[in-house]
Structure 1
Amino acid sequence: MRASIIATITALVLMLGVLAPAVRAQDAAIVSLENEFIRLVVNNSGDETGRFSIRTTGGDPAIPASKDQHLIFGGNAPWTSYTSIRIGNDSYVFGGPTKRRAGLGAKYGKVVAPPELKNGKIYTTCRFGDIEVTQELGFARSTVTRMLDTVGITYRIANTGQENRNVGLRVTLDTMCGTNDGAPIRLGAKEITEAVFASSGEIVDRWFAFDDLAKKTVISMGTLKGGATTPPDRVLFADWGSLADEPWDVVLRDGQGFIRAGELDPDTAAAMFWNPTMIDAGQTKVITTYYGLGYIKDKEGKFTLGIDNPAETTFEHERTQAFTVTAFVKNSGDFDGRNVAITLALPRGLDLLGGNKLSEIYEGMKQGATIQQSWTLKPNGKFNGTGNFKLAVTSANIEGNSLENSLQIHVPTMKLRVQPGAQQVPVKTNRMPTIIPIQLNLSPVENFAGARVVVMFDPAVIRPLNVTRGPGFMEDGRLLAGWDVDDTDIDNGKLVITGLRTNAGHLTQAEINLAVIAFRSVAPGKSPVTLREAVLLDGAGKETPLEVLNGEITVVP
């Protein structure tokens, strides 16, 4: 019996010794991240290192069928989606080489840092001579749902050499909606049914891939503009085979559809291009795009309605970003519609910049047909709060329908802040007291005509050397009257700055510098830089609501 037990244990040990490396090899072949919405997988095998796939886990809670569905083909062995680097006149594929179609025979660099999960993101680094490219993948909040149902795709392109280099980027995504490898692409007011380039002027905020508005299982969404996105110079929607065979430019045939080149199956894909631009020696260019789970608020009826808009927008004067709203209307009735009127009512505080008219009539609409409309809008600063878009459809012979979706419009109050907010400096620089400049910046600027502020600090740690006015108290290079600095109480850590825009127009813009204070270090310690009794005046001489953001300077031995 004992001999039998020993033999059994020995056999188990030998079995585990054989199986354990296989399990480790399987685990080592991918690096992955997942949450309740989506799963990101990065290839860590010897072939196609760094390529990635995305699928849903729980998907869209409002669509049960969206669970466990592909958004990018590849599953646990990603290889069909890939990224190209254009350096001078040469094109390279990011990551490890392949024996399969996507990037076969292309030029490759060297993987210097294989996929690694750090701080919630997966990093991969490749070198192409003096150009070093790091791919950074991680979950990001959707501009539509504000949920972590999107993957942020970032490339940091560093020129480590001594000469300036011309470098571009192409990101190719092999889109897949569940089991449908050929789902139609929708961009603004267009349903794209054949291969096409979209130039920068045709690019809207988001593009979608889904089957049918009334019978959708899962929606994928790419973000092209807005927020931290780097808008591409052009986007190509084409069959995957054409993009797999060419790592940079693809020549399209007239009427070329989405049938995979050289085969018989439909297979849609998207490629975002950032044209080559000069990167100076020692500098880094950062490019970011987003792709993940899409969401379109919809409502069933004889007309099935859908509307896509961002969750929020912010008014920032000249920095204000326009955004896109897209509507989908499907005739789900039993017959063709006549005199179909589509109307979009806007919330307060928005201006229409382009796209469709806010109300349009179609004489006829085939049963089963879908109409897409798109509008470019921009907040004007006249409303702060939550508003609603209302999409309404009526017809001469089909029951109408309507749908609302909310938008949060932010109009920030003015803030006077110390910048940088916190800094640490040595007490001596080149054996002299360290000079520590700070700025008093106002943003956003609305009808600004003057200010008075008391700046408090610890004189045992820092002392002001000089105070200079900022552009807020200049006009066309001319110094405006009304500027005054009271430094009679600096021994008690108090400085009073007053400025007026005398004989000049009031200011309205995103941001302005009011003053620069140059402190010098006195001794090690920590000194707050506190703004007290801050008063802003508008063009009528009235006080304006203001929020202050203080700073802190730490002087170390």
Structure 2
Amino acid sequence: MKARRIAIPCVLLAALAAIAVPLGALEVTNGMVRLTLHEGIGRFSLAGLGQASGASFTPLLVAQDPRSSMVSILVSDRVIRLGESSDFLEAVEKTATGALFTWTSKQIVVTETFSFIGAPGSDVASGVRVDLQVTNVSEQDLAVAVRYLFDTWLGEASSVHFRTDTVAGLTRELTVTKDERPAYWVSPLADNAEGFGFQCMLSGEGVTVPDRVVFANWKRLSDSAWSYTTSAARTFSQAPYSMNDSAVGQYYDSRPIPRGESVTVTLALGRASPSGLTLQTAATAVAAAAAPGATTAAETTAVEAPAVEAPVETTPVEAPAVEEPAEPTPALDPVTEARTDLASINELLRKIERLLADGSALTAEELAALEHSIAALKERSALYGTGRE
């Protein structure tokens, strides 16, 4: 009975995968780094250029499915994966110094701003500055925590998944606290003479120091609701399906946000450099284009690079108007409709995951409800030209 229950959701998941079509992506290239914002799923990808003549861009994070790296926020004991919640309206746009995501809900507005940066003393971009700003637009005070999950891969071909300025190689799970943090961590490309890798700064002027950095198996980190406790006895594998699969979780503990104010977490990450990365904006001109098959993001006028200042900023913001449910709903534009459908798919996937984790037999009513939801989504998928048979 249990085997039958597991097989049924797998069929449903396959049906969902067939209709879950990304809206598109905005690619912005500067110097030795390429930034991609994936519209509709709220994820970003980074790729770095090698030193050798004729070198191509190499993904710095897992590229097969950009959803495996993510940013989550914890608001009033509720975990929200940005890009997956139907409570938020998502927007993506190019800026003069990079690109940004915006997520808007009745309670909070979140912006994730990307600006190109480089190594100290260099005008060539090799990384990005990420400013995640959470603004409280509700009528009450809030507290918000942040977690970044990076799905790394460059070191998985060797025994050394990570290195820091204090540790030559990490081969097992590890938690680093705020007081004992290294200056940075690197996911190094295996057997690469030029030291290519993905680097994340944990200190430096303007960088928000994480309260905890966790090096662990990706599935264990991804499946954890929020916190995860490491064990030195565990490697970066979880049998039977998540073998030699490493990731990093960076935790920024809960910060109070009075109504009308905001808090900002700032990161510096990109192509590894012996001297690290600085938050100074790179001078190289920005070239942007929509990825193949992607929608075109709205461009903005010139914007100055975000100032390096204390993490907490006061930014009065008016709460977005809330329509009464009884009032007629205006027609949505195609992009908004697609975002709504993707949010519905994400919620349905989470429901299936909860049913799988429950361990009990799937009832006829549950199966009928799932099939009805998928049938409705498949019907709506005809609105999108995917080119699939």
Q: TM-score normalized by structure 1?
A: 0.43
C-alpha distance in 2 between matches for 1:31 and 1:142: 24
Q: Which has the higher contact order (CA 8 A, sep 6+)?
A: 2
Q: Kindly tell me: are residues 66 and 86 of structure 1, through their superposed partners in 2, closer, same or farther at Cα, counting changes over 3 Å?
A: farther
In the TM superposition, what are the counterparts of 1:77-116 in structure 2 within 5 Å? Answer: 78-96=66-84, 108-116=85-93
C-alpha distance in 2 between matches for 1:194 and 1:243: 14
Q: Kindly tell me: are residues 155 and 220 of structure 1, through their superposed partners in 2, closer, same or farther at Cα, counting changes over 3 Å?
A: same
Q: 2:207 aligns with which of 212, 224, 229?
A: 229
In the TM superposition, what are the counterparts of 1:106-505 in structure 2 within 5 Å? Answer: 108-143=85-120, 145=122, 147-177=124-154, 180=157, 184-190=161-167, 191-211=169-189, 215=193, 218-260=196-238, 262-296=240-274, 308=275
- 1:381-421, Cα deviation, whole Å (9 max, x unpaired): xxxxxxxxxxxxxxxxxxxxxxxxxxxxxxxxxxxxxxxxx
Q: Kindly tell me: are residues 115 and 204 of structure 1, through their superposed partners in 2, closer, same or farther at Cα, counting changes over 3 Å?
A: same
1:53 paired with 2:32, answer: no
C-alpha distance in 1 between matches for 2:205 and 2:245: 30
Secondary structure of the 1:207 match is strand
- Give the match for residue 502 of structure 1: none
Give RMSD over aligned pairs.
Answer: 3.1
Q: Kindly tell me: are residues 200 and 185 of structure 1, through their superposed partners in 2, closer, same or farther at Cα, counting changes over 3 Å?
A: same
Q: Write the letter of the residue equivalent to 2:34.
A: R
Q: Write the letter of the residue equivalent to 2:37.
A: V
C-alpha distance in 2 between matches for 1:66 and 1:278: 46
Q: Kindly tell me: are residues 112 and 214 of structure 1, through their superposed partners in 2, closer, same or farther at Cα, counting changes over 3 Å?
A: closer
C-alpha distance in 2 between matches for 1:261 and 1:135: 35
Secondary structure of the 1:244 match is helix
- Give the match for residue 355 of structure 2: none
Q: Tell me how far 1:142 sits from its aligned partner.
A: 3.0
- Give the match for residue 63 of structure 2: 74
- 1:203-234, Cα deviation, whole Å (9 max, x unpaired): 12221121567745622111111122111111
Q: Tell me how far 1:157 sits from its aligned partner.
A: 0.4
Q: Kindly tell me: are residues 217 and 205 of structure 1, through their superposed partners in 2, closer, same or farther at Cα, counting changes over 3 Å?
A: closer
Q: Which runs of 5+ in 2 are unaligned?
A: 1-20, 281-389
C-alpha distance in 1 between matches for 2:89 and 2:278: 39
On the 8 A contact 2:217/2:238 being kept in 1, the answer is: yes
Q: Tell me how far 1:201 sits from its aligned partner.
A: 1.0
Q: TM-score normalized by structure 2?
A: 0.60
C-alpha distance in 2 between matches for 1:178 and 1:140: 24
Q: Kindly tell me: are residues 64 and 81 of structure 1, through their superposed partners in 2, closer, same or farther at Cα, counting changes over 3 Å?
A: farther
C-alpha distance in 2 between matches for 1:143 and 1:248: 34
Q: Kindly tell me: are residues 165 and 89 of structure 1, through their superposed partners in 2, closer, same or farther at Cα, counting changes over 3 Å?
A: same
* Structure with greater strand share of residues: 1
Q: Write the letter of the residue equivalent to 2:81.
A: V
Q: 2:27 aligns with which of 5, 22, 32?
A: 32
C-alpha distance in 1 between matches for 2:213 and 2:278: 24
- 1:37-60, Cα deviation, whole Å (9 max, x unpaired): 111111114xxx21111112xx24
Q: Kindly tell me: are residues 202 and 181 of structure 1, through their superposed partners in 2, closer, same or farther at Cα, counting changes over 3 Å?
A: same
Q: Kindly tell me: are residues 109 and 127 of structure 1, through their superposed partners in 2, closer, same or farther at Cα, counting changes over 3 Å?
A: farther
C-alpha distance in 1 between matches for 2:121 and 2:179: 22
Q: Kindly tell me: are residues 189 and 208 of structure 1, through their superposed partners in 2, closer, same or farther at Cα, counting changes over 3 Å?
A: same
C-alpha distance in 1 between matches for 2:276 and 2:60: 21
Q: Tell me how far 1:249 sits from its aligned partner.
A: 0.9
- 1:520-547, Cα deviation, whole Å (9 max, x unpaired): xxxxxxxxxxxxxxxxxxxxxxxxxxxx
On the 8 A contact 1:184/1:193 being kept in 2, the answer is: yes
Q: Kindly tell me: are residues 124 and 43 of structure 1, through their superposed partners in 2, closer, same or farther at Cα, counting changes over 3 Å?
A: same
Q: 2:38 aligns with which of 22, 35, 43?
A: 43
Q: Tell me how far 1:109 sits from its aligned partner.
A: 5.0
Q: Kindly tell me: are residues 261 and 41 of structure 1, through their superposed partners in 2, closer, same or farther at Cα, counting changes over 3 Å?
A: farther
Q: Write the letter of the residue equivalent to 2:80.
A: Y
C-alpha distance in 1 between matches for 2:160 and 2:98: 29
C-alpha distance in 1 between matches for 2:150 and 2:210: 14
| Alignment coverage as a number of residue pairs | 260
Q: Tell me how far 1:264 sits from its aligned partner.
A: 4.8
Q: Tell me how far 1:138 sits from its aligned partner.
A: 2.9
Structure 1 residue ranges, 4+ long, deviating more than 6 angstroms after superposition: 309-313
Q: Write the letter of the residue equivalent to 1:278.
A: P
Q: Write the letter of the residue equivalent to 2:56.
A: K
Q: Kindly tell me: are residues 269 and 280 of structure 1, through their superposed partners in 2, closer, same or farther at Cα, counting changes over 3 Å?
A: same
C-alpha distance in 2 between matches for 1:311 and 1:140: 7
On the 8 A contact 1:175/1:181 being kept in 2, the answer is: no
Secondary structure of the 2:67 match is coil
* Structure with greater helix share of residues: 2
Q: Tell me how far 1:241 sits from its aligned partner.
A: 1.1
Q: Write the letter of the residue equivalent to 2:60.
A: L
C-alpha distance in 1 between matches for 2:87 and 2:119: 33
C-alpha distance in 2 between matches for 1:70 and 1:183: 18
Q: Tell me how far 1:86 sits from its aligned partner.
A: 0.7
C-alpha distance in 1 between matches for 2:104 and 2:194: 42
C-alpha distance in 1 between matches for 2:76 and 2:200: 28
Q: Kindly tell me: are residues 42 and 248 of structure 1, through their superposed partners in 2, closer, same or farther at Cα, counting changes over 3 Å?
A: same
- 1:498-521, Cα deviation, whole Å (9 max, x unpaired): xxxxxxxxxxxxxxxxxxxxxxxx
Q: Kindly tell me: are residues 309 and 94 of structure 1, through their superposed partners in 2, closer, same or farther at Cα, counting changes over 3 Å?
A: closer
CA radius of gyration, larger in:
1
C-alpha distance in 2 between matches for 1:88 and 1:156: 17
